[in-house]
């Protein structure tokens, strides 16, 4: 089983395997909160890549990272550092690309959903 690390996404504790990107952790939280019919479930595999992740969460809806200048909620698109739709605040640093950042123990991630609640 891979090493597991815990971090906070919008104040919710998430545990993921080491090497997981921040955007994948955000997607896990969203999937755990609101699985859509036919969508992948939040159930973690017991072995192999992704084994052991879990999320304690309340309903957050689809994966959301930021707001556009017009106020629309936006989420990750390319997953490879090109579109910049995955910008979040990580440990107080704004506009970090969640798809390019690896989760670290104790990391504090803030998305547009938390900014709405503030
Ligand atoms: S998802 Fe496109 S830059 Fe991160």
Tens digits of residue pLDDT in 19-61: 999 999 999 998 887 655 544 444 444 555 444 444 443 344 5
CA-closest candidate to residue 111, choices 18, 11, 28, 24: 11
Kindly state the average pLDDT of the residues 56-77. 79
Q: How far does residue 38's CA lie from ligand 1's centre (Å)?
A: 24
Residues near 19 by Cβ (< 8 Å), separated by ≥ 6? 2, 102
**Cα–Cα distance for residue pair 38/36, rounded to 1 Å:** 6
CA-closest candidate to residue 110, choices 27, 43, 12, 41: 12
Torsion of CA 43, 9, 68, 30, to 10 degrees: 20
pLDDT at residue 34, rounded to an integer: 67
pLDDT at residue 118, rounded to an integer: 59
Three-class SS state of 30: helix
CATH number (3.10.129.10, 1.20.1740.10, 3.40.50.720, 3.10.20.440) of 4-117 reads: 3.10.20.440
Q: How far does residue 83's CA lie from ligand 1's centre (Å)?
A: 5
pTM: 0.77
CA-closest candidate to residue 36, choices 61, 12, 15: 61
**Cα–Cα distance for residue pair 6/64, rounded to 1 Å:** 20
Name the residue of 26, 65, 85, 102 whose CB sits within 8 Å of the most ligand 1 atoms, as the mutation to test its pocket.
Answer: 85
Kindly state the average pLDDT of the residues 74-99. 96
Q: Which of 8-22, 43-57, 74-88, 97-111 has the lowest mean pLDDT?
A: 43-57
- Ligand 1 neighbours, Cβ below 6 Å, are 76-79, 81-86, 97, 99
């Amino acid at each position: 089983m891979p090493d597991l690390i815990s971090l906070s996404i919008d104040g919710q504790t998430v545990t993921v395997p080491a090497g997981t990107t921040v955007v994948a952790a955000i997607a896990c939280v969203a999937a755990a909160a609101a699985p859509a019919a036919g969508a992948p479930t939040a159930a973690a595999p017991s072995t192999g890549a992704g084994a052991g992740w879990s999320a304690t969460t309340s309903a957050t809806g689809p994966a959301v990272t930021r707001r556009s200048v017009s106020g629309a909620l936006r989420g990750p698109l390319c997953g490879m550092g090109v579109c910049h739709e995955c910008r979040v605040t990580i440990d107080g640093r704004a506009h970090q690309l969640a798809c390019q950042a690896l989760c670290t123990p104790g990391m504090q991630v803030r998305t547009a959903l938390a900014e709405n609640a503030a």
